[in-house]
Amino acid sequence: MADDPNPDQGWYYNTRTNEVEHLERSRSIDLLGPYPDEATARRALDIARERTQQADAADHAWEGD
């Protein structure tokens, strides 16, 4: 984890460890976020899934499928 003297105050979900992180964080490539609070960060995979479904629906609408 990074030792940052001015840590970001957001909450992150680590896709490698499946844990929520705050202040001390792992590599950014493993993180989703930032989220405003721990509960929202715990829902990160659900949020990503919902956003992907919305984007896919928008693509289909634009393509006329």
Over residues 11-43, the pLDDT tens digits come to: 999 999 999 999 888 999 999 999 999 999 999
CB 36 within 8 A of CB 11: yes
Note the pTM of the prediction, 2 decimals: 0.77
Confidence (pLDDT) at 24: 85
Confidence (pLDDT) at 12: 97
CB 31 within 8 A of CB 13: yes
Cα within 13 Å of Cα(55), Cβ side: 6
Structure tokens at 8: 């970001």
Helix (H) or strand (E) holding 38: helix 38-42
pLDDT confidence band for 3 (50 / 70 / 90): low
Report the alpha-carbon distance of residue 46 to residue 51 in Å, rounded: 9
The position carrying tokens 């940052």 is 4
The answer to whether residue 48 scores a pLDDT higher than 90 is: yes
